[in-house]
Amino acid sequence: MSLEGRERRRYELDDRGFDEVPVKYRKYYRRLEGPGDQLAPNELLCPVCKVVIRSTRELREGDRLYCMACLTRLRVVAGPAGLEGVVEYT
């Protein structure tokens, strides 16, 4: 079955100690832990501030995410190395 036809995997988010946003939003973010850090299917790197954004569901092209650390809205697009975030100036 193609990725698009398959139901999205859901994720329970936990607090990873990201202290730059109010407590109730901390679970949506984590820091990038160096070059060996692999992003999970529900995670995206913010191109503006380099924070990892987390979602409760597996990400797909066209999704929208918010980076609260830098006040930015992102659109998920397919890039050469996987999913990437493009800033939406809305």
Partner 1 sequence: MSGPGQDLHALPPHEFFEHVHSFEFWLGSVEGYLAGRPYGHREQLAEPAFSEAERDRLVTVLCHYCLGETMALEGAGGLIRSAPNRPSKVFLATQTVDEGRHLEVLVHRLAELGVADPEAEIERRASPELARFRERLLALVNAGDWAAALFAQNVILEAAEFAVFHRHAKSADPITREVLLGIIKDERRHLGFGENELGRRLARAPALRERLRAVKGELDPHVLASFSHTLTLLGTPAAERGELGRDYLAAVERLGFA
* Contact residues: partner 1, CB under 8 A: 19-26, 28, 47-49, 51, 55-56, 63-73, 87, 89-90
Per the structure block, which two tokens stand in for 12? 């329970």
Minimum CB distance to partner 1 smaller for 30 or for 55 = 55
Q: What is the DSSP string of 17-54?
A: ---SS-GGGGGGEEE--STTPPPPTTEEE-TTT-EEEE
Minimum CB distance to partner 1 smaller for 3 or for 87 = 87
Minimum CB separation from partner 1 for residue 1, in Å?
Answer: 25
Minimum CB distance to partner 1 smaller for 2 or for 89 = 89
User: Rounded to whole angstroms, how far apart are CA atoms 24 and 86?
Assistant: 25
Per the structure block, which two tokens stand in for 26? 């901390």
Minimum CB separation from partner 1 for residue 78, in Å?
Answer: 18
Minimum CB separation from partner 1 for residue 52, in Å?
Answer: 13
SS3 85: strand
